[in-house]
């Protein structure tokens, strides 16, 4: 006789996995499409181009890994080495969390890039190559360094992997008690704070520029969309002018949308993770339905980011009409050639 509770649980898991998979496949396709579009358009800043391309690549991998972990939560093993790998790397979802950390870090750099290109535009071109190098190194180092303790919050003993850590698991429990607030600060609080500060700094800077532009117009002076700044990026009258790419202004609404989705998605999983430290009877069990739902919600921004980028970059928004025109022209040429051949 089939246990009705087991039957319902299996069907519920299957429905949950299928619904996640459909949305994640849409996210992967969207990210690949936007990556292709970014390779077709020309953006003035190499740093902005690099960060936007890196973002859609990382978001595509986020969707791929969480989809894989949704279906393959654990696998059988027969020796201590494969058991240790399955427990400390696969059960803790290290590949997914690595690209998730890198995606969040890269998104933070995108917000800072807007700040550097607008408020500090006088020195932006001079230090652009250094920005590319240090942002890339910073993304890798911060993500790997933050994720290393995550491998130690489970315990593999006597060929058994324990993901529900209790005070009886002395070392793993101590690592968990340290890692939970550390993860909250580094993965949630710090990047979101930096993104919000950078965003509103840029918004205030644009408002100040508009006010100066309107005042200059009112006094009959000729103005242009430029910002007068010193080498330190401060608004001082030292004769240094720099033009600002309209791209950064068009990204204002999109940037706020990306930050908002990150806050909503990361909050759910972060609170779920911190509950095991606040509630004695609750544990964050890697691979459970609740944990995977939290990880999926954490990945929602990776599904929406490519759409927001496509709508925020003016040169990408012009692509569909241009390509449609080219297709129509090519179709007309083919029809004309076929008629001539028939005649």
Average pLDDT rounded to a whole number, residues 38-42: 87
Which positions ≥6 away from 32 have C-beta within 8 Å? 56, 60
How far apart CA 55 and CA 63 sit, in angstroms, is: 12
The pLDDT value recorded for residue 239 is 41
- Asked if residues 283 and 165 have their Cβ atoms less than 8 Å apart, the reply is yes
Q: What is the pLDDT of residues 167-186, one digit of tens each?
A: 776 788 888 888 888 989 99
Query: Looking at per-residue confidence, does 269 or 308 come out higher?
Result: 308
3-class SS of residue 159: coil
Q: What is the pLDDT of residues 274-321, one digit of tens each?
A: 887 777 677 777 878 888 888 999 999 999 999 999 999 888 877 766
Residue with structure tokens 């992967």? 28
Helix (H) or strand (E) run with residue 155 in it: strand 155-157
**Does pLDDT of 204 surpass 80?**
yes
**Does pLDDT of 189 surpass 80?**
yes
The CATH number of the domain covering residues in 4-333: 1.20.1070.10
Q: What is the pLDDT of residues 211-263, one digit of tens each?
A: 877 777 777 655 444 444 433 444 433 344 567 788 888 899 999 999 999 99
Q: Does the model's pTM come out above 0.85? A: no
* Per-domain residue ranges of the chain: 4-333
């Amino acid at each position: 006789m089939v246990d009705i509770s087991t039957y319902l649980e299996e069907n519920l898991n299957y429905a949950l996995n299928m619904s996640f998979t459909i949305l994640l496949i849409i996210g992967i396709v969207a990210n690949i499409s936007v990556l292709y579009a970014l390779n077709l358009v020309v953006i003035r800043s190499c740093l902005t181009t690099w960060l936007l391309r890196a973002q859609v690549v990382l978001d595509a991998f986020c969707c791929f890994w969480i989809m894989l972990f949704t279906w393959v939560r654990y696998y059988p093993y027969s020796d201590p080495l494969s058991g240790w790998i399955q427990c400390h790397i696969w059960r803790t979802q290290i590949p997914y969390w690595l690209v998730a950390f890198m995606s969040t870090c890269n998104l933070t750099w995108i917000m800072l890039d807007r700040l550097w290109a607008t408020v500090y535009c006088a020195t932006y071109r001079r230090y652009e190559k250094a920005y590319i190098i240090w942002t890339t190194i910073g993304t890798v180092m911060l993500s790997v360094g933050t994720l290393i303790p995550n491998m130690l919050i489970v315990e593999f003993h006597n060929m058994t992997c324990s993901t529900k850590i209790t005070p009886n698991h002395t070392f793993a429990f101590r690592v968990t008690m340290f890692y939970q607030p550390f993860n909250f600060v580094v993965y949630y609080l710090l990047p979101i704070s930096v993104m919000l500060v950078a965003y509103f700094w840029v918004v205030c800077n644009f408002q100040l520029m508009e006010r100066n532009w309107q005042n200059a117009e009112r006094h009959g002076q000729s103005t242009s969309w430029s910002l007068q700044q010193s080498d330190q990026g401060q608004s001082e009258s030292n004769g240094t002018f720099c033009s600002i790419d309209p791209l950064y202004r068009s990204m204002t609404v999109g940037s706020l949308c990306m930050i908002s989705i990150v806050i909503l998605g990361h909050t759910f999983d972060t609170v779920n993770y911190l509950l095991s430290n606040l509630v004695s009877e609750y544990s964050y069990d890697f691979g459970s339905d609740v944990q995977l739902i939290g990880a999926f919600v954490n990945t929602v921004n990776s599904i929406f980011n490519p759409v927001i980028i496509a709508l925020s970059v003016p040169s990408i928004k012009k692509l569909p009409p241009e390509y449609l025109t080219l297709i129509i022209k090519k179709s007309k040429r083919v029809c004309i050639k076929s008629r001539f051949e028939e005649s």
